[in-house]
Amino acid sequence: MASSRYEGVLLGMGNLLLDISAVVDEAFLAKYDIKPGNAILAEEKHLPMYDELARSANVKYSAGGSSQNSIRVAQWMLQIPGATSFMGCIGKDKFGEETKINAQAAGVNVHYYEVDNAPTGTCAVCVVGGERSLVANLSAANCYNVEHLKRPDNWALVEKAKYIYIAGFFLTVSPDSIQLVAEHAAATNKVFMTNLSAPFICEIFRDTQEKALPYADYIFGNETEARTFARVRGWVTQNTEEIALKISQLPKASGAHKRITVITQGCDPVVVADDGKVKTFPVIFLPKEKLVDTNGAGDAFVGGFLSQLVQEKSIDECVRAACYAANVIIQRSGCTYPENPDFS
């Protein structure tokens, strides 16, 4: 595969966070008022938790942030130097340096906006019985702005990319940046993709989400997010297949691509709504004792999917790669992977 043809083909943007991951107990979740499997933004009451996690004997650090996780996994699956790029914001600190080193080692071409008035964002990953709960303290990630995106060396990444992925979490930070990139994609027939990301995005940031969705050629999400999305809109159904179909049929800004909706359901089949039809795909069975943690599973799923999409493979192949990547990640701690993929 000629690498020049794929140079910068996939661009990601989003919140840059350093994952601080540790196995905790139910009492820890109760102490900080965290629900199992949740993904939320940190409030005042959560702030002491980061130090407590950092003191944990089993603590692990890894470059996180939903969009960047997906881009790192896509890069790993592709094994083509320079195929992926990423933009987001970090602080000028130790965690920021750590994030840079981590992303560069993954082979992603990163253009970070670096600020000195806020520390690099962190995400507490609290693992209980293999299930993860996420609490994000955005800090510097919250400082990203559209001016950085408009700088010629950064906009060049947008110009070069044929596929652009921005998870829904970025709606809380820089909707202007999303709009600019989405409109560019629509005007130039590029493929723009996003993610429902979390129930709170579908609820609290509904209006911002509503502006971005018409531009989305692919919308990813899990069954909880999909049901929240439906409930907020007053749709009577809680059936994942029906919701996926309705999302795929929402108005589109550009007619160049039809919208495809991809909804994961944990160990239940993946739902794909495409061109008025729904298909389901079984996931790879994993015995309970092999599950390490689900942190990054959804991100890895998207990364695997994108790795085949940018090579213009069929949807079936994209889903197969997505399931493979998610299966690898849940057998490891955090969103990490072995040196080379074993996918053919």
217 is catalytic: no
Helix count and strand count (H, E) for the chain: 13, 14
Catalytically annotated residue among 176, 299, 316, 342:
299
Whole-angstrom distance, CA of residue 120 vs CA of residue 194: 24
Give the total residue count for the chain: 344
Would you state the structure tokens that stand for residue 17, as one six-digit string? 């966070």
- Report residue 44: phi and psi, to 5°: -50, -45
Please enumerate in sequence order all residues whose Cβ is within 8 A of that of 312, keeping only pairs 6 or more positions apart, or say none: none
Whole-angstrom distance, CA of residue 315 vs CA of residue 279: 10
Whole-angstrom distance, CA of residue 328 vs CA of residue 294: 10
- If we measure between CA atoms, which residue out of 177, 212, 174 comes closest to residue 194? 212
CB 282 within 8 A of CB 325: no
Instruction: Quote the radius of gyration of the chain (alpha carbons, Å).
Output: 19
- Active-site amino acid positions: 299
